[in-house]
Amino acid sequence: MNRIFDEEKGGRVLAFGAHPDDLEVGAGGLLARLSDEGADVYMAIVSIPNRAEERRVEARASAELIGADLFILHEEKQCRVEDIPMHELVRRMDQLVGDIRPDLVITHSAHDLHWDHSLVNRATVSALRRTPCDLLAFLSSPEMNAQARSVGQCFADISKTMDKKIEAISAHKSQLSRLDLESSRDLARAMGRISGYQYAEAYEVLRVRI
């Protein structure tokens, strides 16, 4: 397994998810791995559409498992991403990007079929217009990953953090009836078979500095 960041500098990673649990499903293995490897990892949830208090508590527990700091961009009201004006969303992301100065940003794919998720992709790309950093995108469900042809330009080895990923997804107890933990594991195993790891997550490379 190659280290993504140099051991001394550690690196800063900022991940944007439209809703609580999106980041765990799409990128939980890599985020946990980067944290284990010494990076400062920040998870930013753009909106909480329902059961706000309960889902906030779940998101905090999950971020703690992953070893990340948690931000909720619209903590003051329960809403969907599409309820937030784009300029306001980009402004809040700008602020966070300016404070954190990330080396790597992880966000939703533009090919995500969920409207809120693709809005987050668009806003992230806008917020990074002046920030030199790497940018990876994920699809946030095993079903979408199975259908997508564009995903898979980059594979992250998550063999050591697979169990932690499942644990972090499971922290979203209110959503467990729709979160299929077995599918997440199956998908990571299939991506691992393609890439030569036991378990892997696939990412689209939107910007990378080598």
What six digits make up the tokens of 118? 């693709």
Using the rule CB under 5 A, is 63 a contact of Zn ion? no
Q: Residues in contact with Zn ion, total (CB under 5 A)? A: 3
- Regarding 18 and contact with Zn ion (CB under 5 A), the answer is yes
Half-sphere exposure of residue 65, counting CA atoms within 13 Å on the CB side?
24
Q: Extract the tokens encoding 44.
A: 């930013």
The reply on whether position 191 binds Zn ion by CB under 5 A is: no
**What is the smallest separation between the CB atom of 147 and Zn ion, expressed in angstroms?**
17
**Which residues neighbour 188 within 8 Å (Cβ) at sequence distance 6 or greater?**
29, 158, 162, 165, 199, 200, 201
Whole-number minimum distance, CB 140 to Zn ion, in Å?
6
Hey, what amino acid is at 207?
R
Contact call for residue 112 and Zn ion (CB under 5 A): no
Asked if residue 19 binds Zn ion (CB under 5 A), the reply is: yes
Indicate the residue among 121 and 161 with the shorter CB distance to Zn ion: 121
Could you tell me the smallest distance in angstroms from the CB atom of residue 116 to Zn ion? 6
| Closest separation in Å from C-beta 8 to Zn ion | 36
Specify the residue, 18 or 39, whose C-beta has the smaller distance to Zn ion: 18
Q: Is 24 in the site for Zn ion (CB under 5 A)?
A: no
Residues 63 and 60: their CA atoms lie apart, in Å, by: 5
From the list 90, 49, 44, 97, the residue with the least C-alpha distance to 71 is 44
Tokens, residue 187: 């998908």
- Residue in 16, 22, 166, 172 binding Zn ion, rule: CB under 5 A: 22
Q: Does 58 bind Zn ion (CB under 5 A)?
A: no
Contact flag: residue 14 with Zn ion (CB under 5 A)? no
3 state DSSP class of 88: helix
Ramachandran quadrant class, 13 (left: phi over 0; alpha: psi -120 to 50; beta: rest) = beta
Give the binding site for Zn ion (CB under 5 A).
18-19, 22
